[in-house]
Amino acid sequence: MLFNELGFSSSQIGGGITIAATSGTIARLIAGFCLDEGVHFSNLLKIAALFAISADIFLFNSYDINKYFQGQILLGAAAGIYWPAAELAIPISCNDFPSAKGFALARTADALGISLGSTIGTIFSWISNIRFIYLIDIFCMILLINIVSLNLLRKRSLTLESNIFLVKNNTLSEQLYRVREVISDLGPILFLSIFCTSIFALLQSGLPLDLAEGGIYRLPLSKTSSGVLLSTQLIFILFFQWPIGNWLSKKSTRYGLKFSLICLSFGSFLLAFSSFFTNSIILIVFALVFIALGLTAFLPTATEGVIRASSTSNRGIAMSLFSQCFGLSAVLAPISAGHIIDKQGNGMLLWLLLSFIALLLIPSTNLINKLKVDSTN
């Protein structure tokens, strides 16, 4: 929004997002290798925060395309370093607390952070000072550095950390072999993750476009109405995340992923079905409820599954590949959705395809039976 107001073209803004995604991909792999080589997660979180602060400074002062691209490179690197370290920090820091519930709490915190960030961004947009969001982010990164610097956090994780990082000083060929090994072990979960995170990405890109374009008979919605529906979606995720995550922490990974796919399929079908009614706000709200249930079921379940299915010496790489699923879907899903909506004139076919794919993927959860995700480590 900010850079669109500065006169940047859509291709320039999209190019910055692509640069950030590329930077994040490289940073994720490096962070994963570092974690498996014994680097403490708190150190990587501090480095990620410093990269984010640098990115915020560049973007806050960016009035030309070069500074925008430089800021996007740093922002992508910050996200790439942060996510594997933050995800692995959860089971390491849980000690006697079940890691599945730890992931559910972390996803609840994520949902709260997204909701607060969207609210603050909206407020700054109203007062025509949207650039100030970067100052808020700098404050949050300084707070993050202080939190991970606490001796209590480091002491809680030291006893487990000594048993988790077993691989040291691997050659490049050995590192690449470990990547292939992790992909082979986690293939079903990673594939499902790309699909589920694509739906999450489409809620931020494809759904607003669909609502603005209108359906086959559904009238186009105003920016205000679309904004209210999108905010409602975030509220659903926030309120569902802990109860759903806590409930599924007592179930198997396969059960949680099947539940997620069923909800995502039905929610996507309702969105497609809403295209045939002129006034379908209630139908869209019900669709968003089921999609929120599916996403809140997927996020902690899949993360816990990745931790359980990966060997202790490869968990850093596993988390970096898992977080890369979010990056892939964030780049590919909006492009594909935009092409379908532009060609069809509405999002009915898009949501119908997603509903059908989700149904087809349900049997693939049985492949997870070959993994060790339903046993405790």
pLDDT of 176 reads 66
pLDDT, greater one: 258 or 304: 258
Model pLDDT for residues 146-185, shown as the tens digit of each residue:
988 875 555 544 444 444 444 444 555 666 666 777 777 7
Q: Is the pLDDT of residue 48 over 90?
A: yes
Nearest to 131 by CA among 222, 221, 2: 2
What is the DSSP track for 154-190? HHHHHHHHHHH----S--HHHHHHHHHHHHHHHHHHH
Integer Cα distance of 136 and 142 in angstroms? 10
Task: Give, for 273, the enclosing helix (H) or strand (E).
Answer: helix 253-273
Amino acid code (one letter) for 149? S
Confidence (pLDDT) at 354: 96
**Mean pLDDT across the stretch 318-343?**
83
**Highest-scoring range by mean pLDDT, 18-22, 174-178, 257-261:** 257-261
Q: Give the residue with greater pLDDT, 52 vs 209.
A: 52
| Averaged pLDDT score across all residues of the chain | 82
What pLDDT, on the 0 to 100 scale, is given for residue 159?
41
Cβ atoms of residues 51 and 77 within 8 Å: yes
pLDDT (average), residues 10-26: 78
Structural domains of the chain in order of their starting residue, each with its CATH number: 1-161 (1.20.1250.20), 186-377 (1.20.1250.20)
**Model pTM?**
0.79
What burial letters (b/e) apply to 352-368, b meaning 16+ CB within 10 Å?
bebbebbbebbebbeeb
